[in-house]
């Protein structure tokens, strides 16, 4: 016999869009041994944020590294997210002595911890395994690699500012590099290709991250050379389904009915690789559930629940276009805006009467890479025009009577600015 149960809406403070992990080959000289430090720090400010800091740090000795990956966030509604992971890892360095450029990469462990909202605490993941990658830096001293890059995105008017900083200082240990004589010199390959991003987590059929596994898409890179592109990008993710399940228990009919819908929509118009990203997300969930209250009268009720979640915001962000080593395929990527997340929950025909609750949480934004696969998108006949589409269909679970599928679609039209 089904007992009365109180449905609690789990607040989600961070929600990220699905993406893919792309790993490129790294070629390095066997006799190059380095020691020093590499770090990544990202801070967010906004009307809903008390503090938000994401850090990845590595202390390197002879190419071996001690890495610390941490995240701490507190919102004005009291929600707190924390994680900290330490791990052994390695440094990779690629230098093109002919072009006088270099790139570095340090692999990082995932960051796992807890998220507290009110009196509830759940598992939290800021990131699966990822990396700090700094690409295409000018080589001034072949025995000392050092620098600082700072990137700032968004505005207070658009909902918040994200400031990202990369700092590195590496010194060659042991045998120092000596430039070869001109007649015997040959170019040495460096690190090229697309930025690494971690694999996405799982999204449930209601469009929310499953507890203990939050989707995340950090992109860790620095680059000084950049082509400029103008055009548009449209990205959507949708899912819907409804069903009715009937069973009987001790002469009572138990019926569970539901109608779920989600729609995420992002539009971008880029001019010289600068664009305004507009985001509008909607999640609705309607449910009717037969409920038997176990006491002498055996009260039988049909409880109705409504949940609605809205996100809307816009911000100014850069477009990144990355090509494969053979220049036959490419990827495009951009960040999305920080925006408020409005929750509404209502319960009717409950033993306690009708009740409702509204709240405003803070969504930390997202990063999207297209196409979201390992292979990239093929370049057409004109390499100055990047035009394509992407579609991914996640089929319904065979045991899901609502037959809910998740469909992601994207379209982009970009032209190089000369």
d(CA 7, CA 67): 41
Phi first, then psi, for residue 371 (nearest 5°) are -70, 155
Confidence of residue 17 (pLDDT cuts 50, 70, 90): very low
Encoded tokens for 218: 């950090």
Nearby residues of 6 by Cβ (< 8 Å), 6 or more positions away: none
Span 302-328, average pLDDT: 88
Over pLDDT 70: what percentage of the chain? Answer: 76
* Per-residue confidence (pLDDT) for residue 166, from 0 to 100: 92
- Among 347, 274, 350, 357, residue whose Cα is nearest residue 309: 357
Q: How many residues does the chain have?
A: 418
* Per-residue confidence (pLDDT) for residue 226, from 0 to 100: 65
Eight-class DSSP state of 31:
T
Span 138-155, average pLDDT: 87
The 3-state secondary structure of 36-103 reads EEEEEEEEEECCCEEEEEEEEEEEEECCEEEEEEEEEEEECCCCEEEEEEEEEEEEEEEEECCCCEEE
d(CA 263, CA 240): 9
Encoded tokens for 105: 């990469």
Digit-coded pLDDT (tens) for 148-187: 888 888 776 666 788 889 999 999 987 777 766 544 444 4
d(CA 366, CA 373): 17
* Per-residue confidence (pLDDT) for residue 133, from 0 to 100: 86
Encoded tokens for 13: 């403070």
pLDDT at 353 exceeding the cut of 80 = no
Confidence of residue 407 (pLDDT cuts 50, 70, 90): very high
On whether the pTM is more than 0.85, the answer is no
Local structure of 290: helix, strand or coil: strand
64 versus 205: which is more confidently predicted?
64
Write the DSSP assignment of 335-387 as a string of letters.
Answer: E---EEEEEEEEEEEETTEEEEEEEEEEE---EEEES-SSS-EE--S-TTEEE
Contact (CB, 8 A) for 111 and 130: no
- Among 70, 80, 76, 83, residue whose Cα is nearest residue 43: 70
Contact (CB, 8 A) for 345 and 360: no
Digit-coded pLDDT (tens) for 41-71: 998 888 788 888 999 999 998 899 899 999 9
Digit-coded pLDDT (tens) for 220-274: 344 334 689 999 999 999 999 999 988 877 677 788 899 999 999 999 999 999 9
Lowest-pLDDT choice from 29-33, 113-117, 339-343, 344-348: 29-33
- Name the E strands within 154-222: 161-172
């Amino acid at each position: 016999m089904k007992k009365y149960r109180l449905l609690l809406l789990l607040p989600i403070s961070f929600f990220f869009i699905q993406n893919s992990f792309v790993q490129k080959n790294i070629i390095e000289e066997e006799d190059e041994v380095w020691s020093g430090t590499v770090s990544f720090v990202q801070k967010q400010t906004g009307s809903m944020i008390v503090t938000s800091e994401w850090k990845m740090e590595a202390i390197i000795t002879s190419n071996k590294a001690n890495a610390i990956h941490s995240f701490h966030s507190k919102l004005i509604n009291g929600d707190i997210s924390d994680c900290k992971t330490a791990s052994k890892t390695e440094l990779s360095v690629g230098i093109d002595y002919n072009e006088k450029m270099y790139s570095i990469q340090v692999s990082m462990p995932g960051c796992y911890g807890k998220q507290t909202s009110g009196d509830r605490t759940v598992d939290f993941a800021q990131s699966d395994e990822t990396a700090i990658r700094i690409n295409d830096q000018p080589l001034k001293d072949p025995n000392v690699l050092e620098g600082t890059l700072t990137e700032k995105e968004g505005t207070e008017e658009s909902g918040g500012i994200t400031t990202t900083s990369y700092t590195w200082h590496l010194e060659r240990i042991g045998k120092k590099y000596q430039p070869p004589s001109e007649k015997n010199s040959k170019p040495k390959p460096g690190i090229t290709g697309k930025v690494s991003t971690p694999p996405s987590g799982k999204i449930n059929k209601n469009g929310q991250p499953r507890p203990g596994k939050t989707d995340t898409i950090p992109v860790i890179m620095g680059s000084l050379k950049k082509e400029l592109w103008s055009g548009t990008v449209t990205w959507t993710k949708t899912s819907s389904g409804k069903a009715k399940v009937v069973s009987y228990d001790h002469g009572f009919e138990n019926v569970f009915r539901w109608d779920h819908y989600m729609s995420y929509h992002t539009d971008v118009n880029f001019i010289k690789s600068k664009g305004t990203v507009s985001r509008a997300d909607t999640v609705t969930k309607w449910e009717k559930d037969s409920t038997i209250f176990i006491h002498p009268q055996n009260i039988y009720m049909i409880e109705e629940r409504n949940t609605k979640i809205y996100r809307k915001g816009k911000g100014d962000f850069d477009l990144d276009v990355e090509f494969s080593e053979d220049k036959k395929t490419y990827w495009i990527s951009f960040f999305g805006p920080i925006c408020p997340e409005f929750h509404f929950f209502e319960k009717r025909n409950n033993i306690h009467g009708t009740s409702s609750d509204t709240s405003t949480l803070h969504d930390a934004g997202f990063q999207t890479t297209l196409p979201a696969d390992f292979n990239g998108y093929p370049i057409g006949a004109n390499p100055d025009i990047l035009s394509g589409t992407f579609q991914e269909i996640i089929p319904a679970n065979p045991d899901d009577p609502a037959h809910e599928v998740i469909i992601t679609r994207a379209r982009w039209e970009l032209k190089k600015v000369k």
